[in-house]
Amino acid sequence: MIKFLKINDPYRLAVLAIFFLAARAIVFLFEIPFTYSELKFFLVARAMENGKWLYKDVWETAEPLTAFLYYLLPNNVVIFSATAYWLNVILVLFNAFFINIQFIRHDVLNEKTNLPAFFYLFLSFSSIELNVFSAPLMASSFLLLVANKMFFYLKKEESQQLYSIGFFLSIASLLYLPSIVFFLVILISLIVFTRSELKSYFLLILGCVFPWMVLLVVFLWNDGFVEFTNVFLAKYFKFRQNYIFWSEVAYILLIPALVFLSALYLSLRDRIREINYQNICRKFVFIWLMGCLLLFLIAPITTLSFLHIAIMPLAFFYTFYFTQTNKTLIASILLILAFVVMLLVEVRSAVGLAWRGSMRKIIVQRNEQDTVKGKRLFVVGESVAYYLDNTLATKYLNWEVSKQELVNTQEFTSIESVKRTFEKEMPEMIIDQKHIMPSVFKRIPSLQEAYSLERPGIYVLKKKK
């Protein structure tokens, strides 16, 4: 397989695409799980379909551009999952071929080969979470555009490229906010590897600022600027959630990690067949990989979907290894075995036979026995999966963001805001998992009169006589 793809031939890329689509089709034959990575964007999109504005009418720390793209997708969970799955397939395939073409076009590696595309697709089987049409995946496409422009700039240092770099980087951050760390990556690379003038840095900053300024104008126009800053910017990095089981990750990624470490060791040796520009590109990609590590450390939600952003530098070093050494037979066998293991794990995960612990963490668990359906609902707590069969009432979707206002019933401003929210949109049912509603009812007697306690933690709106 490695020798077959080592030759730069578009027909061999077509064969690779067919194998990739066939492998993904095998996974698709089983039920595609609906993950928590998708859930918050899906619920925000459904609320937007009902005329609500993100942050202003829906309190959730979802990136605005990703929420808008989810808004364009079907609102039925089953159709959405199928559509999102194949969008993921198309985007991963596009990213793989794009970076392969750009590596060849810019002479980033010492050989013109199809191996980057192969390794990109190979690594996309690392986890079932990489099957999700997620914010990191969408951001990775624009970050690849950033990397492409940087390769061009490192070669010719044309200042106009820096505005495009800043612009694409800004779009990536609006899709996945932790991507903003790559501004630091670009800045360090420009300082270390180029002789850029001060005006070049201003172009980079201007490109970064422009999309954000357009977004701020939109929220100002719709009286949502305060909520945008208070709900999104102020709270995004404040709360952390982990969806990774490291023991399982080590099992899947052990062999690919060994090959990568071999590539990294080889890259540190002196006798390497490459020109000075390729040496600079290799160091730039290494800094990019360090940026991926920083992104992982600061991201508030820890999932393996972040690997979408790390795949490009990993694919680079894999290709570097297989083009710089003749001792590839054992590594090739290991990679084939790793691919088979990854595919089997993906299939077994899809049918619920593998990684039951982590699957419970990343896949939305729906109680089939629950009869709460078709209601305007308010859930006090983290179990927002209830909204899949119901409609979100009130603005309080994200519990971590909302609890400061809901719990702090001693402050007049908080209780007045809660009262206005309920008066604007009265839920037909309240599921109080945090047992805070009695204190809220005590402070708002008119609200208490409107609801009756059906069973512990469940309040139902009284019918008007």
Over residues 339-388, the pLDDT tens digits come to: 676 666 666 666 555 555 556 667 777 654 466 788 899 999 888 888 88
Mean pLDDT along residues 43-70: 92
Integer Cα distance of 267 and 283 in angstroms:
9
**Phi and psi for 363 in degrees, rounded to 5?**
-100, 135
**pLDDT grade, residue 329 (50/70/90)?**
low
- Whether the per-residue pLDDT at 143 is higher than 90: the answer is yes
Q: How confident is the model at residue 273, as a pLDDT?
A: 67
- Percent of all residues in the chain with a pLDDT value above 90, rounded to a whole number: 36
Place of tokens 């005329």: 51
More confident residue, 111 or 185: 185
Q: Are 342 and 142 in contact (CB under 8 A)?
A: no
Q: Are 343 and 322 in contact (CB under 8 A)?
A: no
| Residue ranges covered by each domain of the chain | 2-357, 376-461
Q: Are 301 and 240 in contact (CB under 8 A)?
A: yes
Integer Cα distance of 151 and 153 in angstroms:
5
Q: How confident is the model at residue 369, as a pLDDT?
A: 43
Lowest mean pLDDT among 96-110, 173-187, 283-297, 349-363: 349-363
**pLDDT grade, residue 44 (50/70/90)?**
very high
- Whether the per-residue pLDDT at 247 is higher than 70: the answer is no
- Whether the per-residue pLDDT at 266 is higher than 70: the answer is no
Q: Are 146 and 169 in contact (CB under 8 A)?
A: yes
Q: Is 448 helix (H, G, I), strand (E, B) or coil?
A: helix
Lowest mean pLDDT among 156-170, 247-261, 267-281, 421-435: 247-261
Mean pLDDT along residues 127-148: 91
Mean pLDDT along residues 245-251: 65
State the average pLDDT for the chain: 84
User: Beta-strand (E) ranges in 29-87?
Assistant: none
According to DSSP, the β-strands at 301-302 and 241-242 are: parallel
Q: How confident is the model at residue 62, as a pLDDT?
A: 92
Mean pLDDT along residues 194-219: 91
Rg (CA), the chain: 25
Task: Give the H or E element holding residue 379.
Answer: strand 376-380
Task: Give the H or E element holding residue 451.
Answer: strand 451-455
